[in-house]
A and B are shown apart, each in its own frame.
Chain A
Amino acid sequence: MIEAPVSKDQAAAEPLVRIRGVTKRFGSFTANDNIDLDLFAGENHALLGENGAGKSTLVKMIYGLIAPTEGTILWRGAAVALKNPEEARALGIGMVFQHFSLFDNLTVAENVALSLPRTESLKTVPDRISDIASRYGFALEPDRPVWTLSAGQRQRIEIVRCLLQDPHLLILDEPTSVLTPQEAEALFGVLDRLRGEGRALLYISHKLDEVKRICDRATVLRHGKVVATCNPREESARSLAALMVGSQVKDVKAAADRTYGGERIRVDGLNLPAGDMHGVSLQSISMSVRGGEVLGVAGIAGNGQSELFAALSGEAAARDANAIRFDGGAVGADGVTQRRRRNAAFVPEERNGHAAAPDFSLSENVVLSRHAESGVTRSGFVDYGRAQNLAGSIISSYDVRKAGPDPAARTLSGGNLQKFVVGREILREPGVLIIDQPTWGVDAAAAAAIRQAILDLAARGAAVVVISQDLDELFEISDRIAVIHMGRLSEAKPAGAVTREEIGLLMAGTASGDARAH
């Protein structure tokens, strides 16, 4: 057993990978800030952090997918500048991605053969797969087409691909996110063997229970910085969650001095099956939001946020019309336009292609979400004069910076386009607003403007649901906060009475059963 943070053996040994002062900037955004990290042979090292904490950026640099802006990566003590993943693989670095890059209609053996050097004979591939599978104690039939396999079996193909190159370091990006608990158990067995063979594992996860069970050391990232390196077995899930989400609580406005109207959004036992393989099914979601209230929905990406947004906006209709009620009217079976006619407004997460059509002008984008109201369209014809006037008032009210009088949506910067699509909905004075990731990838000034607009709308009596992965944001604007985990929504708690640690535990799914009751 390796003691944290570094055992005597490790202190003496040369680390396999030594990362020193690595910084990665994308434009003005710093994804990784002065990262130091050591990885030793024979350890399973966890990389913990919330979405957007910079985990993916860091491992992409180790795997040669992107180059660091500053700092050095040392491999066995020698500085390396990896230009591409091929160079990383040549050194002995393998990576298992979260979303598999497999060919569905090809067999297991064919998928593996494609990643082998051209000199390898195709005929020996099935035998080599069976060899590896039996060595690590899992089953994988070389002749099965991939589309007939489960997610766990697909992941094994990716692992076999890596192992055929005999890597010294294996990076696993949230490997259990698509696995059933049983498949995850099998994976842990394989990982233990790999570590026993003296390979280093870098295990990216936000599942604290898993990390406590199988990892020897953990490095926690927050906002692109290393905030701690610890032995996860000696930490509690609570203390790890606190490290992940940051323990200092910001000024949270008191909910008491706000006045609420009647209930405007009511969701009762909403169920929605997953749309595709990577989707999440919503399970008995319930919530109630009053006029003047902002309900924040926290959660780690991929726990059902997009599905919840789709269900609330009408992009995915519920089977039971009564499962969703806006202002008392059953809207569960209604489409988006019908719900808009009930004075509801929706801002999806993706600006380009979902909230706005990138190649359409701003005035045309106004028509897209507001055609249902009288005014912009008249007996089937578009009134472009009116649409341009509306676009103009959105632009001036929300300080949208743009080039030209009526430019295409894609020419706007992310923050300005987000202000535009949020403004487009809020200027309608909706009674119900559902907004997903309102400030994702938006600069601080635009984010503040958008949050202020949301608060102002609520103050005028609207009920608002904000789905966000940014806890700071949720604590800043929400009256109550609920957490979505694996398609289930926790009970909403007053933002002033709940701690970040509690929210963090709910996000990681480690809270006790009563906290998840709904």
Chain B
Amino acid sequence: MNVQIIELVLVTIVTAATPLIIASVGELVVERAGVLNLGVEGMMIAGAAIGFAVAFLTGSTFLGALAAIAAGMFMSLLFGILAVGLAANQVASGLALTILGLGSAGLAGASFVGQKRESAASLYIPGLSDLPLVGKLVFGEDMFVYTALALVIAVSWFLNRTRAGLALRAVGENHGSAHALGLPVRRTRMLAVLFGGACAGLAGGYLSLAYTPFWSPGMTAGRGWIALALVVFSSWKPWRLLAGALLFGGATVLQLHAQAASIGLPGQVLSALPYLATILALVVLSLRNRRGSIAPGSLGTPFIPDR
């Protein structure tokens, strides 16, 4: 295997991991605030459809990405009103959001099926981007990849270093005590849900604007669910989430190469590898963390203020 092939594999791993990183870092913030939004898949697909439509009509990838974010936020607003504002069951609201997203994205994108446009531009720095092995990997990605990395850094800094991040974790940990301390539980949660929606929308936009620059119904193909699993997998820590997404992206890409090389295992088994890897990693993690739950204490519990 020469250097070019290795570089190609590494670049595709990053590409496969990017939508997972963006969507799951948003969901991580939502869950750290104590809300379980199972509608990631629905918000992603809405972002993918609206993002592609706007980018196609305006000819601007940037406007398309903004529209994808707006679509995700709008979807999460619906969820927030139900699950945070009205303290409805979060699991049911999230599942409904996924179904709503899949349906309405199919409707909105119906007239764009089969349309094609240019993929999002990649960074090009003369000299640096031409370096062997790392050139394309480090200096030749599109803006989504850099945004994903920036999001992980920013979220990690926000959660661990700022007072607002501390308040958000406190709200997710024990909403009763947080309320007693005078922290705005519902406002914090609503903002977290909106951030999660923006991230999921952007992740969907990445799929239709950069990963495969066209729209097709159901193109998220379960990535929203994998993003949800990654949050648990990372035990709600942003940096582990980055590693998990790369691991999952790596498994996805490697199984494709393994299939191409026809190593004698059925293709279905190889396709299942990334999911098996996720399950295995979850088992190993949960065995390691026997003492002290790592999940936010109030995760999934509706908050109803007593006065």
Residues of chain A whose beta carbon lies under 8 Å from any beta carbon of chain B: 86, 101-106, 110, 113-115, 118, 122, 145, 147-148
Q: Find out whether the CB atom of A118 lies under 8 angstroms from the CB atom of B163.
A: yes
Question: Across the interface, do B292 and A114 meet the contact criterion of CB distance under 8 Å?
Answer: no
Contact call A103/B173, Cβ cutoff below 8 A: yes
Closest to B179 in A: A101
- How far apart are the CA atoms of A306 and B162 in the complex, in Å? 43
Closest approach, in angstroms, between the C-beta of B32 and any C-beta of chain A? 10
Contact of A113 among B163, B177, B293, B297 (CB under 8 A): B163
Bound complex: CA of A426 vs CA of B178, how far in Å? 44
Chain B residues numbered 157-215 whose CB sits less than 8 Å from any CB in chain A: 161-163, 166-167, 169-170, 173-174, 176-178, 180-183
Q: In the complex, which of the residues A104, A105, A114, A145 has the most CB atoms of chain B within 10 Å of its own CB atom?
A: A105
Contact residue among A103, A118, A147 (Cβ-Cβ distance under 8 Å from B177): A103
13 contacting pairs across A/B (C-beta < 8 A): A86-B182, A101-B174, A101-B180, A101-B181, A103-B174, A104-B173, A105-B169, A106-B173, A114-B166, A114-B170, A114-B178, A122-B162, A122-B163
Is B304 positioned at the interface, with any CB of A under 8 Å from its CB? no
Residues of A contacting B163 in the complex (Cβ-Cβ under 8 angstroms):
113, 118, 122
Please, how many angstroms separate the alpha-carbon atoms of A292 and B169 in the complex? 57
Contact partner of B297 (CB less than 8 A), chosen from A103, A114, A122, is A103
Contact B170 A147 (CB under 8 A): no
Contacts known (A110-B166, A113-B166, A114-B166); A105 close to B177, Cβ less than 8 A: no
Please give the distance in Å from A88's CB to the nearest CB on chain B: 13
Q: For A102, list chain B residues within 8 Å (CB).
A: 174, 177
CB of B174 within 8 A of CB of A114, answer no
B180 touches A148 (CB 8 A): no
Other than A102-B177, A106-B173, give 7 A-B pairs with Cβ distance below 8 A: A101-B174, A101-B176, A104-B174, A110-B166, A113-B166, A114-B178, A118-B163
B26 at the interface (CB under 8 A from A): no
Bound Cα distance A106, B161 (Å): 13
Q: Assuming the A-B contacts A110-B166, A114-B181, are A145 and B292 also in contact, with contact meaning beta carbons closer than 8 angstroms in the complex?
A: yes
Residues on B with beta carbons closer than 8 Å to the beta carbon of A113? 163, 166
A104 to B180, alpha carbons, bound, how many Å? 16
Chain B residues, Cβ within 8 Å of A110? 166, 169-170
- Check B269 for interface membership: any CB of A closer than 8 A: no
Question: In angstroms, how far is the closest chain B Cβ from the Cβ of A187?
Answer: 22
- The 7 closest A-B CB pairs, nearest first, are A101-B177, A103-B173, A147-B292, A103-B174, A103-B170, A114-B170, A105-B173
B: contact size bracket: 20 to 34
Does any Cβ of A come within 8 Å of B243's Cβ?
A: no
Contact of B244 with A by CB under 8 A: no
Instruction: Tell me, rounded to whole Å, the shortest Cβ–Cβ distance linking B252 to chain A.
Output: 32
When distances are taken between beta carbons in the complex, the residues of chain B under 8 Å from A101 are 174, 176-177, 180-181
Contact of B181 among A104, A115, A122 (CB under 8 A): A115
- Is B296 at the interface (CB under 8 A from chain A)? yes
* Residue numbers in B under 8 Å from A104 (CB-CB): 173-174, 292, 297
A106 to B183, CA, bound (A): 15
> Taking the nearest CB of chain A, how far is it from the CB of B295, in angstroms?
9
Asked if B107 lies at the interface with its beta carbon under 8 angstroms from chain A, I say no
Please pick, from A86, A106, A118, A148, the residue contacting B170 in the complex, using a CB distance under 8 A.
A106
Which residues of the partner chain A approach B292 to less than 8 Å between Cβ atoms? 104-105, 145, 147-148
List A contacts of B293 (CB < 8 A): 105
Q: Mask for B271-307, Cβ within 8 A of A = 1, else 0?
A: 0000000000000000000001110110000000000
Q: How far is the CA of A122 from the CA of B162 in the complex (A)?
A: 8
Query: B209-261: which have CB < 8 Å to A?
Result: none
CB-CB under 8 A from A145, the residues of chain B are: 292
Q: How far is the CA of A135 from the CA of B131 in the complex (A)?
A: 60
How far apart sit A147 and B297, CA to CA, in the bound complex (Å)? 12
Q: Give Cα distance in the complex from A115 to B294, angstroms.
A: 23
**What is the minimal beta-carbon distance from B68 to any residue of chain A, in angstroms?**
33
Q: Is the CB of A105 within 8 A of B181?
A: no
- Could you say which residues of chain B place their CB within 8 Å of the CB of A148? 292
- Distance A118 CA – B163 CA, assembled complex (angstroms): 8
CA distance A122 to B181 in the complex (A): 17
**Could you say which of B167, B173, B180, B294 has the most chain A C-beta atoms within 10 Å of its C-beta?**
B173
Q: Which residues of A contact B294 (CB under 8 A)?
A: 105
Nearest-Cβ distance from residue A471 to partner chain B, whole angstroms: 32
A101 vs B177: C-alpha distance in the bound complex, in angstroms? Answer: 5
B296 CB contacts on chain A under 8 angstroms: 105
Residues of A within 8 A of B162 (CB): 122
Chain A residue with Cβ nearest B236: A105
Q: Is the CB of B167 within 8 A of A114?
A: yes
Residues of A close to B178: CB separation below 8 A: 103, 114
